[in-house]
Structure 1
Amino acid sequence: MSYPNQNPYGQPQGPQPGYGYPQQQPSPYGAFPGGGMMPGAPAPYPTVMPGGVKAARVMLFVLAGLNLIGLVGAVALLGSVSKASKNTSEYASSDSIMAMNFGKGLLIAAIVLIVIFTGAAITLGVQFANGGSGVRVGAIIFGVANTLISLMTFPIGLVHTALGVMIIIFVSKDDGTAWFNRPRY
């Protein structure tokens, strides 16, 4: 039996069960026409560490390694200055002795600063995987302090300056903010 005005190779006429528009899945971001996110709705939280955050983490570990190399050099220099100050003649001027003592004090301060920055870089880098917004703020503060101190030793500290600025940028981006503000269950 054939029905008039019906093409067996065309689209079916009228509503058919199981045919028509595909069923839309409910959106986890709220009902908005088109199935997308509502304007102004917060971005979904990432489940994998974004590339910029991974890069900032690697830069923290690189800075820690460079600091360890600098620590070895500073300790060796302190040893040589101490040895030189012990080998001074008894006829040396008080200005040269005072300069050596000032140099030793400056090197000791630099060693303490290097140890603090190395420990902070390693601690922050390790905490990137599970840390919250405090780790993000700590990384930004570390980047600023690292940049400011490395500017004092500009030609030598150029790598530290560049890495400090890049850490600040990568951690402050939107994907970095979303990573550190994600819910941890």
Structure 2
Amino acid sequence: MSYPPDPNNPYGQPPAAPGYGYPQQAPPPPAAAYGYPQAAPAYGYAPVAPPSMPGLVMTSRVLLFVIGGVQIIITGILLIAAAGTKTVANQHSTDSDTAIFGNAAAGILLVFGIVYLLAAVLSITLGVKFGKGGPATRITTIVYASVFLLLGLLVTVSAITGAGQAQGTAAGSGFGVVVGVLWIAICVLWIVAMASRDGVNWFNRPRY
């Protein structure tokens, strides 16, 4: 027969404190800890490639085709002039000075014709590459425009200097200034289009 414990007995078993006997459960973790991890902020994503060719890039492409066509026409004119000069030099073969001058002029015209022909091929090739070309096409266009920009500056400065020195050639010098300034503007447009954000994104876009 058991007796209830005497609360006044110092040797008795102390009563169990409330809450003991079963292990207490740890508090549940915060609600944010459940489920999938939260996505990190969307920093550092590459810019989205434009779905179609940007307007400035398209304008540059059209100008490349136009300039290529003009360069082909100039090539034909130079080659015809070289052939005519060579013919005149042969007709005056007895005059050594005329023959030498004519042959030299024909050679210079021929060299310029070849240079314009190569430039025409490069212009048209770059224009074609704008559709599916990558960063190499963009960089080549920048180099191409930079080189011809310097040539345009030389033509403009030469025309202005010539107009100041010889009053009789004012009309020709004025035409040279117009051509030089126009060529400079076209080259600057090419460089700006290739260096702009839309141009970089277009040529860096993924190609499948």
TM interval, shorter chain, is: 0.7 to 0.9
Give the TM-score normalised by structure 1.
Answer: 0.72
Q: Which of 52, 63, 86 pairs up with 1:59? A: 63
Matched, 1:134 2:136: yes
Matched, 1:143 2:145: yes
Contact 1:63 1:160 in 2 (8 A): no
- The residue aligned with 2:183 is 160
**Where do 4+ consecutive residues of structure 1 move more than 4 Å?**
none
Matched, 1:78 2:82: yes
1:1-185 paired onto structure 2 within 5 Å: 32=41, 38=43, 41-88=45-92, 90=94, 92-94=95-97, 96-154=98-156, 155=176, 156-185=179-208
Equivalent residue of 1:46, what SS? coil
Contact 2:142 2:190 in 1 (8 A): yes
Superposition deviation, residue 152 in structure 1 = 4.0
C-alpha distance in 1, partners of 2:194/2:72? Answer: 24
> With CA pairs under 8 Å and 6+ residues apart, which has the higher RCO, 1 or 2?
1
Point out the structure with the larger helix share. 2
Superposition deviation, residue 43 in structure 1 = 2.0
CA RMSD, Structure 1 to Structure 2 (Å): 2.0
C-alpha distance in 2, partners of 1:128/1:153? Answer: 28
Contact 1:132 1:180 in 2 (8 A): yes
Give the TM-score normalised by structure 2.
Answer: 0.65
Aligned length: 149
Write the deviation string for residues 43-94 of structure 1: whole angstroms up to 9, x where unpaired.
211111111110110110111011012112112211221121112151x243
- The residue aligned with 2:24 is none
Structure number with larger C-alpha Rg: 2
Superposition deviation, residue 42 in structure 1 = 3.2
Contact 2:64 2:123 in 1 (8 A): yes
Unaligned runs of 5+ residues in structure 1 are 1-29
The aligned amino acid for 2:186 is L
Equivalent residue of 2:132, what SS? coil
**Identical amino acids, percent of aligned pairs:** 30
Contact 1:56 1:167 in 2 (8 A): yes
Unaligned runs of 5+ residues in structure 2 are 1-38, 157-175
